[in-house]
Amino acid sequence: MSTVVGRSDFARDILYVYGIVTWATVVIGLVVGGALAWVLVRFRDRPGAPLPAQTRGHTLLEIAWTIAPALVLLVIAIPTIHVIFRTQGAVARDALQIRVLGRQWWWEFRYPTLEVVTANELHVPAGRPVALTLDGPDVIHSFWVPQLGGKRDVVPGRLNRLAFTAESPGEYRGQCAEFCGTSHANMGLRVIVDAPDAFERWVAAQKATPAEPAGLAAEGKAIFTRSACVGCHTIRGVSTGTLGPDLTTFGSRGTLAAGILPNTVETVTAWLKNPPALKPGAKMPALGLTDDQARALATYLLSLK
Ligand SMILES: [Cu+2]
């Protein structure tokens, strides 16, 4: 989560302004510090030294130290304003549209043109502009993936936008950056930038009808369909709940519950038994599952790729 490593056009634009401000500050700091050091040494009190010349009201100096800071501000303002406009500007026509919903305490990602819905792990293709529209049903959150660009608030009832083009395949961590309640700190996210063909494969896998599970996973599916799960979670072809993350391809995600744990049978079983124990305040209640039920469910959910 480094702010000084840019891996998208947006992040590089910001780094460019950051660089100008940093160097301007370094130069000014050296000049002011150097002048101060020189004055301290040159005019220090020595036994018997006369009082140095006293200056009051020096027009040229007054003008100089008014103009100099104005010039410094101008040098900083021009690229800053330029980058502000560029990062808020029109979105490329071929941009991939993605709707981002910040929810207490996880992220939902919808790809309207691809008819894909997922959570907490956002896949985008490298080299293609993506246009995010940010919104949410509960409180204010902030979407922040430092290496891909500046943070942008997610405000209920207001459509905020964020566009960037990721440069190269990789995995980039992000975090909700606006305090949003108990598990704000546990509201991470991951952006997985795929090579274009890998992205196509990912989309195809998201849309494929999952194979009918067998063995323990089949038991898990049976428990899922007769439990409260269906009221809150969508699994395409199985249930249509919308209070929690879409689980249609849960097994293809690397992490659990907005990045708090890796996705394994053990962690998912522990989660299903008692979500708030792993994530304080989690909006999924403990449902009184036995160890065996939770393990069967975890096996089923992880088989959904
Ligand atoms: Cu938050």
Provide DSSP, the chain.
Answer: --TT---BHHHHHHHHHHHHHHHHHHHHHHHHHHHHHHHHHHT---TTPPPPPP----HHHHHHHHHHHHHHHHHHHHHHHHHHHHHHSPPPTTPEEEEEEEETTEEEEEETTTTEEEESEEEEETTSEEEEEEE-SSS-EEE--GGG---EEE-TTS-EEEEEEB-SSEEEEEE--S--STTGGG-EEEEEEEPHHHHHHHHHHHHSPPPPP-THHHHHHHHHHTSTHHHH-EETTTEE--SS---TTGGG-SEETTTTEE--HHHHHHHHH-HHHHSTT-SS------HHHHHHHHHHHHT--
User: What's the CA-to-centroid distance between 188 and ligand 1, angstroms?
Assistant: 9
User: What's the CA-to-centroid distance between 68 and ligand 1, angstroms?
Assistant: 41
User: What's the CA-to-centroid distance between 148 and ligand 1, angstroms?
Assistant: 19
pLDDT at 209: 86
- CA 249 and chain centroid, separation: 21
Residues 171 and 223 in one domain: no
Residues 74 and 177 in one domain: yes
Q: In whole angstroms, give the CA distance from residue 203 to residue 78.
A: 41
pLDDT at 198: 97
User: What's the CA-to-centroid distance between 162 and ligand 1, angstroms?
Assistant: 18
Residues 60 and 190 in one domain: yes
User: What's the CA-to-centroid distance between 302 and ligand 1, angstroms?
Assistant: 27
pLDDT at 53: 85
User: What's the CA-to-centroid distance between 212 and ligand 1, angstroms?
Assistant: 37
Read off the pTM.
Answer: 0.91
Residues 146 and 241 in one domain: no
Residue type, 275: P
User: What's the CA-to-centroid distance between 153 and ligand 1, angstroms?
Assistant: 10
pLDDT at 150: 80
User: What's the CA-to-centroid distance between 185 and ligand 1, angstroms?
Assistant: 7
- CA 263 and chain centroid, separation: 20
Residues 139 and 51 in one domain: yes
Tokens at residue 56, please? 């009051």
pLDDT at 93: 87
The domain of 254 spans 216-302
Residues 172 and 236 in one domain: no
Residues 175 and 134 in one domain: yes
Residues 15 and 74 in one domain: yes
User: What's the CA-to-centroid distance between 105 and ligand 1, angstroms?
Assistant: 7
Chunked into runs of 10 residues, the chain (305 residues) has average pLDDT values of 92 94 94 96 88 89 94 93 88 92 97 96 96 96 94 94 95 97 97 97 92 94 97 95 96 96 97 97 96 97 95
Residues 116 and 70 in one domain: yes
pLDDT at 228: 96
User: What's the CA-to-centroid distance between 181 and ligand 1, angstroms?
Assistant: 7
pLDDT at 141: 98
User: What's the CA-to-centroid distance between 163 and ligand 1, angstroms?
Assistant: 21
- Choosing from 163, 184, 208, the residue where a domain stops is 208
* Whether residue 105 has a cis bond before it, omega within 30° of 0: yes
- Choosing from 147, 174, 208, the residue where a domain stops is 208
User: What's the CA-to-centroid distance between 156 and ligand 1, angstroms?
Assistant: 13
Count of C-beta atoms within a 10 Å radius of residue 22: 12
Number of compact structural domains in the chain: 2
- Choosing from 157, 176, 208, the residue where a domain stops is 208
Residues 24 and 135 in one domain: yes
pLDDT at 211: 85
Domain of 222, CATH number, reads: 2.60.40.420
Q: In whole angstroms, give the CA distance from residue 27 to residue 35.
A: 12
Q: In whole angstroms, give the CA distance from residue 248 to residue 235.
A: 4
Q: In whole angstroms, give the CA distance from residue 241 to residue 232.
A: 4
Residues 79 and 200 in one domain: yes
**Start-to-end Cα distance in the chain:** 27
Residues 160 and 111 in one domain: yes
pLDDT at 49: 84
